[in-house]
Structures are given as structure tokens and as C-alpha cells.
Amino acid sequence: MKKLGIIGASGHGKVVADIAKKMGCYQEIVFFDDNADRVQCGDYSVAGKSQDIFHFECDGFVAIGNALVRQRLQEEMEKRGIHVPVLIHPAAVVAEDVQILPGTAIMAGAVVNPGSVIGKGCIVNTCASVDHDCKLNDYVHISVGAHLAGTVAVGEHTWIGIGAVVSNNLAVCENCMVGAGAVVINDIKESGTYVGVPARKIK
Ligand SMILES: CC(C)(COP(=O)(O)OP(=O)(O)OC[C@H]1O[C@@H](n2cnc3c(N)ncnc32)[C@H](O)[C@@H]1OP(=O)(O)O)[C@@H](O)C(=O)NCCC(=O)NCCS
């Protein structure tokens, strides 16, 4: 019987579990969370703290928004031999040649177009789009309804906020937060927080 352990019994975790269930490749899904108050996540029970996943015979997936925490836990799972899958909602549209590395979740309604490469532990959230020839480095999050035009590169740990857009042929460097609704029209070369139209650095 194939089991999936998900670390992070949050709303995001609930969405990840729904994708895994719809993909039909797991007979059992259980959660792990360090917050003892979380005993249930949707229809699924919380079987223990994050470290307890290592005592279960299961595949593992980290459903935590914080990119550094996501990376730390995924790397620990990989080091200890836990298989980390790619999860793609059946209602996402992903071109055939797209490369997607382990630990990435592609949510419902998302579109990833040809030639794109998506790193480890990324989130392409609900109805986000990643157009042709984009490169998402590891642990990037493209939020709900955000859009990347063609040939956009996004650096490691960068979070593109809800409804933000990045115009074509641009690069957004690592460790950036691009705020809700921002419009990026120039390369972002310095890590930080960017908001507005056009996007400007505030932190
Ligand atoms: C950009 C963001 C991270 C900044 O949060 P923060 O660091 O707490 O910053 P603050 O709320 O203190 O705002 C600082 C200033 O920037 C402005 N600002 C913040 N977010 C903004 C945005 N998205 N667009 C325009 N201005 C914004 C604030 O109005 C404030 O302006 P002021 O100094 O003139 O009052 C946050 O506002 C944001 O946009 N988060 C997106 C979250 C998201 O995408 N969630 C989706 C998950 S799927």
C-alpha cells in the first residue's frame, strides 16, 4: 500500500493532499506537524511531529510556505532516503517537455508552457501561469493567479505574490518577495521586497 506523508497540516497542506488524492497514486495520506494543536487536516489525521515521518514507510512531501523551512525538510527527507514526488493537479495544464523536480506542487488551473524548467520544492499555485521557456530555481513560489510571461527566470527562494505579473525576458533574482498585484517590467537584481506598478523596492 502506497502512503504519502505530508509535513504541514495547514490550508496549503490540505490542497496538496487533495492533489495527491486526485492523482490516485496513494492509498493513504497522513500529516505531520510540529504544532501539537493540529490534530486533523481536512479529512486527514495528523500522525505526529515532522520528525516522526522518518519512522513511517511512506513517500514524503513538504507543504510549508516558508521556502527555507521547505528546503531544510525536503533536503533532510532526500538525505534519509524518503522518496519525494512531484504533485500535479489533474486540472493543471503542463506542456509535455516541461521538467519538474521533486517536491514541486502544481495546483489546479495552473498552466506551465513548453520549454520551462521548474526546480525542487516549488509551488505553482492555483491559476498561476508560467509561460514558455521560464526557469524557476529551487523553492520558488508563484502565488495564486500570478503570471510569468515567456522566458522569465526566477531565483531560488523567491516568492511572486498573488496576482503579480512579470513581463517577458526578465530575471528576478533569489530571495525576493514580489508583492500582491505588482508588475515587474525590469530585471530585479537585488534581493528584497518589491511592490507596485511598476514594481519598486521597499525593503
Ligand atoms: C509585499 C508584502 C510582503 C509586504 O508586507 P510587509 O513587509 O508586511 O509590508 P507592510 O504591510 O508593512 O507595507 C509596507 C508598505 O508597502 C505597501 N505595500 C505592501 N504591500 C503592497 C502591495 N502588494 N502593493 C502595493 N503596496 C504595498 C504598504 O501599503 C506600506 O506602505 P506605506 O509604508 O506607505 O504605509 C505584502 O504586502 C504582500 O503583498 N504580500 C503578498 C502575499 C501573497 O501573495 N499571498 C498569496 C499566497 S498564495
Distance (Å, rounded) from C-alpha 14 to C-alpha 191? 31
Q: What would the mean pLDDT of 155-173 be, rounded to a whole number?
A: 98
Q: Are 4 and 21 in contact (CB under 8 A)?
A: no
pLDDT for residue 186 is more than 90: yes
pLDDT for residue 159 is more than 90: yes
Nearest CA owner, ligand 1 atom 36: 179
pLDDT for residue 182 is more than 90: yes
100-153 confidence digits (pLDDT tens): 999 999 999 999 999 999 999 999 999 999 999 999 999 999 999 999 999 999
Q: Are 31 and 9 in contact (CB under 8 A)?
A: yes
Ligand 1 atom with minimal separation from the 125 CA: 48
Residue extents of the structural domains in the chain: 3-79, 87-195
Q: What would the mean pLDDT of 67-73 be, rounded to a whole number?
A: 98
Neighbour order of strands in the sheet with 59-62: 40-41, 44-48, 28-32, 3-7, 59-62
Per CATH, domain 3-79 is 3.40.190.170: no
Instruction: For residue 1, name the pLDDT band (cuts at 50, 70, 90).
Output: confident
122-131 confidence digits (pLDDT tens): 999 999 999 9
Q: What residues are in contact with ligand 1 under a 6 Å CB criterion?
A: 125, 143-144, 161-162, 177, 179-181, 193, 195-196, 202
Distance (Å, rounded) from C-alpha 199 to C-alpha 47? 43
Average pLDDT, the chain: 98
CA 87 to chain CA centroid, Å, is: 10
Q: What would the mean pLDDT of 50-72 be, rounded to a whole number?
A: 97
Q: Under CATH, what is the fold of the domain 87-195?
A: UDP N-Acetylglucosamine Acyltransferase; domain 1 (2.160.10)
Neighbour order of strands in the sheet with 111-112: 93-94, 111-112, 129-130, 147-148, 165-166, 183-184
How many angstroms separate the alpha carbon of residue 1 from the centre of ligand 1? 45
In the prediction, which pLDDT does 14 show?
98
Q: What would the mean pLDDT of 43-49 be, rounded to a whole number?
A: 96
In the prediction, which pLDDT does 23 show?
97
Q: Which residues contact 167 (CB under 8 A, 6 or more apart)?
A: 149, 152, 183, 184, 185
Q: What would the mean pLDDT of 2-8 be, rounded to a whole number?
A: 97
Which one of 83, 132, 147, 157 is the catalytic residue?
A: 132
How many angstroms separate the alpha carbon of residue 35 from the centre of ligand 1? 27
User: CA dist 45 to 13, 42, 79, 156, 195, Å?
Assistant: 12, 8, 26, 32, 38
**Annotated catalytic residue 12:** no
